[in-house]
Structure 1
């Protein structure tokens, strides 16, 4: 995969992953669709000058997205990638994970590991504190889209809304797990990485990666009751993998 330089190139690369996933009936396309929507929102924000430093936000978006896209192609080529992404991608070969779990596990790897790395990298040679406001605005975009996704998932399983209402604590737990770590952990990690000596950065990233990969099990193994509910949801999901991807695109 050639290096990406603009947000439009990111969108093109994500569309390629989506198209390939539809063709191959690959559940990895679920997260790619969500991420495409996120990137579109960020692009709109940049065009509307929503951020304090819009050119920097495009640069951040490209660095951020490249980590996911590079990890995707590394996995497809049987090349090593981070433990967090390896765990997320491995779910594509399993039957039981719901679409919602596929999305959350991708968010876990990307937000809780990659976002901090991207923030530290885009701040090189400057002051990372100047990025804080725009970083929080990115997190707000990500958080808002989680709830939009629930609407899309209701197309895949029409009774999902009712189940999520009855099990509000389970739903909120899974959403808050990813978003809370994004708010409370990703920025702290970015600051830590930014202040770390260059020859120690790989070690710091590896330690964070191991931690995030372990926490991913909260999503795939949320406890007996939540797991039972997820199995019911999985059995009730409508359509093939390509159809589900198309539903998420709308």
Structure 2
């Protein structure tokens, strides 16, 4: 892991994770590839004046991304990580989850837990409500990219789109989860954490982590009907993990 001080540093570390994942044919590279797209979109947004405060957004992006990158390398070193990330990382060892599930379980840990922590940390001594607009824009970018990825996968594996048309409930399960990210309590958690005393700060994160861990099970164990359909999708996926990572980067 290389030092992280700027968005460029974030991209460099994501490139390292992607390279490692390609070499090992490790599905953990799926989220890294998506997150690279998110980071580039944020970088472009800062340069274009999309965010309310570009300098603050870069700080948020760095603090936010570092939580994921730290967790990834800690997991490789067999060190302790939050339960939310532990589940996301362990799913990579299972054959059956499809690409979108790998992405959503990572998004669950990163948005529902990490984003609130990062927002609270950069808002110490400030009014966190000033951050609300840019906080929502991060969710908008991520949600839009999840939808883009679904379209990309439909082009790569036509069977994916055919199955989604046959079973609309699966499509709703995937997209509704991502679209609800901005409304599922992540911002409320950020505000609560910002007002939490130093003595109870860590415990509040632990409590939140347990709740987010339960959300992860919705993605990894969505019920038998959906699991069977997703299993068919998984069998329909073609190419190596490295091939799929490369297609997600574009």
Q: CA RMSD in A?
A: 1.1
Match of residue 223 from structure 1: 223
Offset, 1:162: 1.9
Paired position in structure 2 for 1:101: 101
Aligned equivalent of 1:68: 68
Once the two structures are overlaid, the 10-residue window that deviates more, 84-93 or 166-175, is 166-175
CA distance in 2, matches of 1:227, 1:90: 18
Post-superposition shift, 1:50?
A: 0.5
Q: Deviations over 1:107-147 (max 9, x none)?
A: 01101110111111111111000001111111111111111
How far apart, in 2, do the equivalents of 1:198 and 1:174 lie? 37
Residue aligning to 1:128: 128
1:211 partnered with 2:187? no
> Do 1:112 and 1:182's aligned partners in 2 also have CA atoms closer than 8 Å?
no
SS in 2 for 1:216: helix
Deviations 1:6-55 (A, max 9, x none): 00100010011001100111110000000000000000000001111110
Cα distance in 2, alignment partners of residues 43 and 210 from structure 1:
32
| 1:167 aligns to 2:173 (yes or no) | no
TM-score, normalised relative to structure 1: 0.97
Q: C-alpha separation between the residues in 2 aligned to 1:155 and 1:93?
A: 26
Secondary structure in 2 matching 1:31: helix
Q: Report if aligned partners of 2:160, 2:233 keep a CA contact under 8 Å in 1.
A: yes
Could you tell me how far 1:74 is from its partner in structure 2? 0.3
Deviations 1:77-129 (A, max 9, x none): 00000000000000111111111110111001101110111111111111000
The equivalent of 1:150 in structure 2 is: 150
Residue 59 of structure 1 deviates from its aligned partner by 0.3
Consecutive unaligned residues of structure 1, counting only runs of 5 or more, are none
Q: Per-residue deviation at 1:173?
A: 2.1
**1:89 alignment partner in structure 2:** 89
Distance verdict in 2 for CA 1:238–1:155, change over 3 Å: farther
Aligned match of 2:50: 50
Q: CA deviation at 1:179?
A: 3.3
Instruction: Determine the C-alpha separation between the residues in 1 that align with 2:97 and 2:6.
Output: 33
2:88 matches 1:79: no
User: 2:22 touches 2:241 (CA, 8 Å); kept in 1?
Assistant: yes
